[in-house]
Structure 1
């Protein structure tokens, strides 16, 4: 068949892709203006999100499993009682708050797995149009990114973005498009924490200059290709150029930080041999260790981590089998209707809370010039459905941020309030004056923050 004038040479296009893939951290490196590095603020503030899928075990009150394995505590206020599920967090009681009754109104009628796409956005993914919006972490990254080498760090156990309704990322850009996550520990460390791996400062300077040339060449060639594309392909190319623009911004940022040394750190405790398919606990804890290290050296002040994907997809489905010796995967357990499934589900929820407790321990016992990392970091842990597809009453634990004036130590229930009201409070505690976020109706009426 004769080649048409609008046909592209596939090899040429793939060659272009191959070149761009050689640029470190191709996508998700930043958005908006590139800022010059500045000295640390007198009051350090950070934000972190940790997500798990498939909701939690909530045995009904009449069940004898309720007081032992219900995810939410027994009682309210300061005098609440942990069940076995969140018992691993007991030592952090004064550093955290448990929140119930919050959810995203536009997601309440969705199957819970779809609501995972909106956990940090409050966006509208009902119907075919999928009108997602910017995630909270990215709003903060735009403000805080000027102080750090990288505006944010987006991590997951599976990496990439997954696909609509079953994402493997918590982060969405200004247009509501998913931002790819990273998941290979050694690559993350070498990319962000080992600048010496590139040789001398002069060698790294030449590498950055080469990256700039590559980006320029690709942008120039992409404009030529753009004129030969149909409408649908032009839209795809525009997305591609947007990602290139973020790479260009990060190359400029790297230049500005080139002569600014990173704080000294000890990485001897990092377990780069943790195999998620064999020992998920070791893998998750190494991810948390990398996040703590990133806070310690002020690599970034905004982080997200998706422990596993929704709907039994990805590596996280087998965590209950690998970590606890259970016969079923996480999603399967959440749908099991047999009598004993509450204990299986509770044990796995407990295992997840142990990992979160480890993260809080590490932050509490790691200090910088501003105090413990936990004192200056808000960490929200939770899921986008309560139990088996119900996208209401999100299980949420907010920890840290005592130096931001957050008053912890209680369990507070709300009456189906928008989760984005909480986000408005969080933005204001971070010093980002806000009256609204996404579909918020105001601020959350709470004395916690």
Structure 2
């Protein structure tokens, strides 16, 4: 039987933009860019770094508490680091440690599920998956007009994973996960190679061809939509939303085609790290690419998921590979053996070392406005505390000196303020005028962010 005139080949797809868009299986199948060069103000940037499975929090009556508790001893400016966060000691003046914040709708979830809501505050209770836009995407909507790309979403595993165990931190306005990237050489060639690795003339021709394909598929999809049932229409709507995003990036690429990249040196970046052999090199290469992205101002919004929840993906074996432990990260978080707290604390410390490396790079790398860290807000943390409880999120905020951020303290909010209040304050610090985000009740009650 021949194909009906309105049927679309599911293998119709687009490539070349870092995205592959393919029609989903259906029942019926059987704003203007503002060039940075014209700006006089320093760019304001936002970055999120995530780790899974919570942190080690030995009870106060346990001798390991003063050694391996993730949160410091004492509060305010006179706090004392335990061994766990000691790698951040040299950045004491550039960081604020926060405890007590969480998302109200996630507090009674298994901590692993709360990972999906770390930047959204969405509602995953019950049988429905009602996630919402992530705060980085809110920022991207406001800051994208200045840069070649609206955002950069990285992880150690790439893609989106699946509901309740995602491998990305970013979610679109409909609460759908945005695929993350993890292949370093491909990321470098896609975002930093002049013209995407092609000459200007070839790149222009490629963009025109991509636009023709998008126009063709959009036109066919709109004709097809009238003939579909309700379920298929919903699937097609999701597909067309993705396709519209591709179309927007094509237009963005065309506008930036003749704007030269800033000069940079990437000789120090390892573009072929192996997460199954040397996780430290793998993570640090990701950070190096992020720093390069800020230095060249290709984007001002970034997310990086160091590893996935619940022992999935490459990150589960990082403690074995990096520290020679005989258990993975998720296994350590559930273990109750004699060396439990020391092992967990040692791995938390190793993660803190990687974050400290990132801050080192941000502090020592400058653009025309000074150290990158001074014009960037960086939030490091997890969506649960000890034993995967989705409360008392362990958080370290860094940077933003030139935006008026005041660091040097450990703040324990204790009464479980909505974490979305922190997001509202961070957005305000970036000059993004939002009144609310998710379930926020206002700005965070602190003078750290003004």
TM-score normalised to structure 1 length: 0.94
Q: Quick one: distance in 2 between partners of 1:23 and 1:302?
A: 18
The answer for the alignment partner of 2:123 in structure 1 is 124
| C-alpha spacing 1:397/1:376, structure 2 compared with 1 (3 Å) | same
TM-fit CA distance, 1:21: 3.3
The answer for the alignment partner of 1:135 in structure 2 is 134
- Secondary structure of residue in 1 paired with 2:298: coil
- Secondary structure of residue in 2 paired with 1:416: coil
Q: Quick one: distance in 2 between partners of 1:196 and 1:437?
A: 37
Q: Quick one: distance in 1 between partners of 2:200 and 2:221?
A: 31
Q: Quick one: distance in 2 between partners of 1:279 and 1:135?
A: 31
The answer for the alignment partner of 2:423 in structure 1 is 423
Q: Quick one: distance in 2 between partners of 1:200 and 1:337?
A: 58
The equivalent position to 2:10 in structure 1, one of 4, 13, 19, is 13
The answer for the alignment partner of 1:445 in structure 2 is 445
Measured against aligned partners, the alpha-carbon deviations of 1:252-295 in whole angstroms (never above 9, x if no partner) come to: 00111011000000010110121011100000000000000000
| C-alpha spacing 1:241/1:138, structure 2 compared with 1 (3 Å) | same
The answer for the alignment partner of 2:67 in structure 1 is 68
- Secondary structure of residue in 2 paired with 1:388: helix
Q: Quick one: distance in 2 between partners of 1:439 and 1:138?
A: 16
Structure 2, unaligned runs of 5 or more: 22-30
The answer for the alignment partner of 1:262 in structure 2 is 261
The answer for the alignment partner of 2:35 in structure 1 is 37
Measured against aligned partners, the alpha-carbon deviations of 1:220-262 in whole angstroms (never above 9, x if no partner) come to: 2223333443322221111111111001000000111011000
Contact 2:70 2:82 in 1 (8 A): yes
Q: Quick one: distance in 2 between partners of 1:148 and 1:292?
A: 15
The answer for the alignment partner of 1:433 in structure 2 is 433
The equivalent position to 1:25 in structure 2, one of 19, 24, 27, is 19
Q: Quick one: distance in 2 between partners of 1:295 and 1:320?
A: 29
Measured against aligned partners, the alpha-carbon deviations of 1:48-73 in whole angstroms (never above 9, x if no partner) come to: 00000000000000001000000000
Q: Quick one: distance in 2 between partners of 1:106 and 1:113?
A: 14
TM-fit CA distance, 1:24: 3.5
The answer for the alignment partner of 1:207 in structure 2 is 206
- Secondary structure of residue in 2 paired with 1:417: coil
Aligned length: 438
The answer for the alignment partner of 1:403 in structure 2 is 402
The answer for the alignment partner of 2:105 in structure 1 is 106
- Secondary structure of residue in 2 paired with 1:127: coil
Q: Which moved more, 1:204-213 or 1:306-315?
A: 204-213
TM-score normalised to structure 2 length: 0.94
TM-fit CA distance, 1:44: 1.7
Q: Which moved more, 1:226-235 or 1:337-346?
A: 226-235
TM-fit CA distance, 1:337: 1.4
Q: Quick one: distance in 2 between partners of 1:120 and 1:26?
A: 25
Measured against aligned partners, the alpha-carbon deviations of 1:64-120 in whole angstroms (never above 9, x if no partner) come to: 100000000000000100000000000000000000000000000100001101101
Q: Quick one: distance in 1 between partners of 2:158 and 2:43?
A: 29
- Secondary structure of residue in 1 paired with 2:100: strand
* Correspondence 1:381 to 2:380: yes
Measured against aligned partners, the alpha-carbon deviations of 1:150-190 in whole angstroms (never above 9, x if no partner) come to: 01001110001111110111111111111110000000000
Q: Quick one: distance in 1 between partners of 2:3 and 2:204?
A: 43
Contact 2:189 2:197 in 1 (8 A): no
TM-fit CA distance, 1:368: 0.4
Q: Quick one: distance in 2 between partners of 1:369 and 1:180?
A: 32
- Secondary structure of residue in 2 paired with 1:276: coil
Q: How does 1:287-326 map to 2 (within 5 A)?
A: 287-326=286-325
- Secondary structure of residue in 2 paired with 1:378: strand
Contact 2:78 2:409 in 1 (8 A): yes
Contact 1:6 1:229 in 2 (8 A): no
Q: Quick one: distance in 2 between partners of 1:55 and 1:41?
A: 42
| C-alpha spacing 1:107/1:161, structure 2 compared with 1 (3 Å) | same
- Secondary structure of residue in 1 paired with 2:47: strand
Q: Quick one: distance in 2 between partners of 1:276 and 1:24?
A: 21
Q: Quick one: distance in 1 between partners of 2:221 and 2:51?
A: 39
